[in-house]
Amino acid sequence: MPAFTLYGARGSTSTDRVRLTLAEGGFTDYELVLLNLQKGEQKSEENSQRHPWGKVPAITFADGFTLYESRPICKYLARKYSFPILPSDSDIEATALFDQAQSAEMLYFSEPVNKITFEKFVKKFKGLPADEAVVSNALQGVEAFFDVAERLLQHKDYMAGNEFTLVDIYYIPLIRRLFACGYGDVILNRKAVNAWWKRCVDRPAIQKLLAADQEAAAAAARK
């Protein structure tokens, strides 16, 4: 019996955040159940018992413990299974820097990127036109974020310091979505940011999962 069940969806950056965390931790003892977002399965009564807002991801354990929202899930799993991607609880300075980096990712990066991906990615699948004014304004926010990150990453290798942590994983799905939407230059045009990005995605576990996902997507497209 798997240790827990992860309920997610293909194309969900939040689901991918959890899957990348598990991959980096080398953890495979779980079941992945994919919901069809286009059919609205995330809004079902059953899924709403797991996630009150009718979204993904969520995890459930045999004893009934359930957790939703990707970042708390990632942090919980990293602690529960001792993945080496969190600072030691005894190092309060490193923990504070981790929390600081996590806050910056949520407030200054994810918010504008999610607006771009909704306009340029989600609306495309719904057959709706993107609001280019929203995209332009959000892109300015992303550019401003990476201007600051470029300065910070000249003095450290990763977002929370010189060690790869869970915070760096948080960025990967949304940056990949930026590339898919045609905005990869915000990464490539900044030397320190681009070097950090390569350090993250060149990690063997990350590479393996991303390659598997690309193969699965290509196979699905051929059907």
Tell me the average confidence (pLDDT) per consecutive run of 10 residues in the chain, 223 residues long.
Answer: 96 97 97 95 97 98 97 98 96 98 98 96 90 98 98 98 98 96 97 98 96 84 74
Q: What is the pLDDT of residue 65?
A: 98
Are both 5-84 and 92-208 of the same fold? no
Dihedrals phi, psi of 139, to nearest 5 degrees: -65, -35
CATH number of 92-208: 1.20.1050.10
Q: What is the pLDDT of residue 217?
A: 79
Enumerate the domain spans of the chain.
5-84, 92-208
Fold of 5-84: Glutaredoxin (3.40.30)
